[in-house]
Amino acid sequence: MWTIADKTVSSRLLLGTARYPSPATMKEAIQESGSDIITVSLRRESVGENNNERFWDYIKNCGAHILPNTAGCHSVRDAVTTAHMARDLFSTHWIKLEVIGNDETLQPDPFALVEAARILNDDGFEVFPYSTEDLIVAEKLVSVGCKIVMPWGSPIGSGQGLRHREALKTLRQRLLGITLIVDAGIGKPSHAAAAMEMGFDGVLLNTAVALAQDPVRMATAFGQAVTAGRTAFEAGMMQSKDGAEASTPTIGVPFWHEEARL
């Protein structure tokens, strides 16, 4: 079990709800992944392909914890307004905060992100800010009240995995009391497992499952990868070495004196 914010869940995988072939496929993928937390964009889904009653009915009645997000927002004002709308619609104080600074890279605007996070924390939200792997930005988010930070592995939808591992390791080492969830850029189950092996608390992804040839099986694979990575981290993995070391001890192995060979 995992306690995140004020909820206790069984899975450390958070799953998005966009771009699935159908609401039915989305529903089955979420169920098979084991995810207890799903994220939904109020702005994008309202005008996108999932704008139908089946989609919204499932979102509201799926039994998972809803993490609304402010995807598509480019200013503090838009993000804060969208967060308040999401709180009213979904009856939750959770919000995944996105304030995009560049339309091509979808990189967050760090200045607007921190300001929006400050306002929403003061308004009683549990803020899940989407950021880069920059330590200073993460520390600023913590300083304005965030207990959770969501650094990207690489740009949204790129599938590049953990592009700057050393920076991510630094975040984990320096922010020991903060819940860290890798969000964006995860393309393969091995990427998710690697993040969990580094000690991150969870992984959030969408595209790698939704656009897979078989989204349901891929969701299952990601659920297993997150569990395996976390288990390996908790078990204590061996450290790499420069040289070889025999796995079989030499004690008790028979040997012969040189005279015996003559």
Binding region? 157, 184-185, 206-207
Q: Is 109 left (phi over 0), alpha (psi -120 to 50) or beta?
A: beta
- Element holding 39 (H helix, E strand): strand 37-41
Which residues are part of a known binding site for 1-deoxy-D-xylulose 5-phosphate? 157, 184-185, 206-207
The amino acid that residue 207 corresponds to is T
The amino acid that residue 164 corresponds to is H
Contact at 8 Å (CB) between 134 and 111? Answer: no
Terminal Cα distance for the chain, rounded = 65
Q: Tell me how far apart the alpha carbons of residues 69 and 97 are, in angstroms, rounded to a whole number.
A: 6
Encoded tokens for 75 = 């200013």
Encoded tokens for 111 = 């200045």
How far does Cα 120 stand from its chain's mean position? 21
- Active centre residues (catalytic): 96
Contact at 8 Å (CB) between 52 and 231? Answer: no
> Who's near 57: CB < 8 A, 6+ residues apart?
none
> Who's near 7: CB < 8 A, 6+ residues apart?
36, 37, 65
